[in-house]
Every structure is written in C-alpha cells, then in structure tokens.
Amino acid sequence: MKAIIHANSRTYTIFVDQPIDISIPLRASKDNVNAWYLPPPKIFPATIKNWTGSIKSGASVNFNSIEFNPHAHGTHTECVGHITEEVHSINTCLKQFLFVTEVITVVPEKKGEDLIISEKQLRYAIGNKKREAVVIRTLPNTKDKLNRQYAHSNPPFLSQAAAIYLRNKGIKHLLVDLPSVDKEKDDGQLLAHKAFWDVDGDVRMDATITELIYVPNSVSDGKYILNLLIAPFQNDASPSKPVLYKLHD
C-alpha cells in the first residue's frame, strides 16, 4: 500500500506496509536493556483484596501493572523538561509526528578514555542535506544492544560541538542507539542535552531526543520518513516507538 507524502516542498512515496521499527521493547526481565543503575522493569498482575488480575489465577481478564523508568528501560523520547526545573511534558512539546529523516552510521572516535561522536563526523555524514530529524547508528552494531546493561560502562556520547552543529543545522529530532547523548558520569554537566535544546538561549521547546533505539544492519543509510510515536504521558519523557519508512522520490 502506497502513501504520498508532501514535505519540504517535495513529494515522496512511502510503502506503509513496509515499516521499520527501530524501538527496543520493554520486557519484565533481567535481560531487558538497562541503564542508570536501576533494577529491571516489572510487569505483574494487579491485586485487589482477594482478586488477582490474571486469567491463570482465575480472573476473566489479564490486568497487569507495570513498574519502569522510561529513561532506563527502553526506547524513549524526551523533551527539554528532562533538564529544566520548570515542568515540561513530552506529550505537550511533541505536536507533529512525521519527519523527513536521515539515517547515518558512525564509528565513535577514541578520545582519552571516552568514545565520542564528533562534529566532524556528523558534518561528513549529513553534508548539505536538509532534514528535520537524524537517526544515529553507532558501530559496532550487534544485537546485544537489545539487552545490554549500560551501567558503569561509559558508553559513547555526543560532543558538545556535535550537538551545537545539529541544532544550527535545524535538526529538531535526534535519535541515538545509546542510553544518553551525554557522558554517563559527567558531574551533571549535560553539555550535549543543553546545547541541542539551547537552554541558555532560545529554548527549543519542540525539539526532542530519543535514546536507546536499535537500527538493524539491514537498514541502509539514507533518507526516510520517521513516524515518532509516543505514549501520551504527561512527563518529561515517554516510552516511544520510532518507525521508519523508506522514501521513494
């Protein structure tokens, strides 16, 4: 099934029956992807007095409660409210959901004890292309990203200059296959977050960061339509399901 998309003064065709889901699902398991030193998420039948919300336990329905943290336990999308004292909700800040997107692949550069995604790498990968969003896949890209335990591992992150470049480039939506765009232990500096959202200047309320995605190796670099789906949480971040559609001119 085809759909016609009009974006950036151009017309594209996508095949809506060929979605590419780049989210990591949340599971009640110690093998669930995890970051930020929290225990695994929990999914369990709710109990009310002598009633348990499980068909196996004799109920007529399954009625589960879920305990999780969106930042730690899977693919999530966050707004500037993640780093501001003033409360801002992703459900309010994200008002559009379809974006012309570039998928790029980078090998983070060694810098001391760190691995960095640099401005130079992004300039090379994006060039003169005008995009609303960018999806960054890092190498090596193995399936253990689906259940990796990131705590105390110092994963790769974006340099402050890289985040400024993306902001100046007009990228509104940044998606990475990492637990954060910033260094795991940075004494709360959050340089890339602050630079991307321009918190010390003209704050970009409609910009988002999506972390802990997984882009299979079968997905080629290039131009896509991104459908950025979130749950309607009134919170700085929400579990999300970014879906790509290959663009055909």
Specify the CATH number for the domain of residue 214: 3.50.30.50
44 domain residue, yes or no: no
d(CA 166, CA 159): 11
Q: How do residues 165-218 score in pLDDT, each as one tens digit?
A: 999 999 999 999 999 999 999 999 999 999 999 999 999 999 999 999 999 999
Identify the residue with better confidence: 8 or 203: 203
Residue-level pLDDT at 94:
98
Q: Is the peptide bond before 216 cis (omega within 30 degrees of 0)?
A: no
* Cα angle value 171/157/178 (rounded, 5°): 85
12: in domain:
yes
Angle at 118 between CA 114 and CA 122, to 5 degrees: 145
Share of the chain above pLDDT 70, in %: 99
Average pLDDT score over the chain: 96
For residues 158 and 86, what is the distance between their CA atoms, to the nearest angstrom? 25
Please give the helix or strand (H or E) that residue 98 lies within, else none. strand 98-106
Task: Determine the structural domain holding residue 112 and report its residue range.
Answer: 2-24+75-246
The reported pLDDT for the residue numbered 4 is: 82
Kindly report, residue by residue over 98-143, the tens digit of the pLDDT. 999 999 999 999 999 999 999 999 999 999 999 999 999 999 999 9
pLDDT for 215 = 98
Most confident range, picked from 3-7, 60-64, 244-248: 60-64
pLDDT over 90 (residue 159): yes
- Asked, for residue 231, whether it belongs to a domain, the answer is yes
Residue 249: the pLDDT is: 64
The reply to whether 193 falls in a domain is yes
Q: Residue 197: inside a domain, yes or no? A: yes
Give 105: exposed, middle or buried? Use CB within 10 Å, 0-12, 13-18, 19+: middle
Geometric angle at alpha carbon 201, from 118 and 203, rounded to 5°:
90
Domain-located, residue 37 = no
Half-sphere exposure of 101 (CA within 13 A, CB side): 25
The answer to whether residue 133 is domain-embedded is: yes
Total domain count for the chain? 1
Question: Is residue 202 in some structural domain?
Answer: yes
Taking residues 16-31, report their average pLDDT.
96
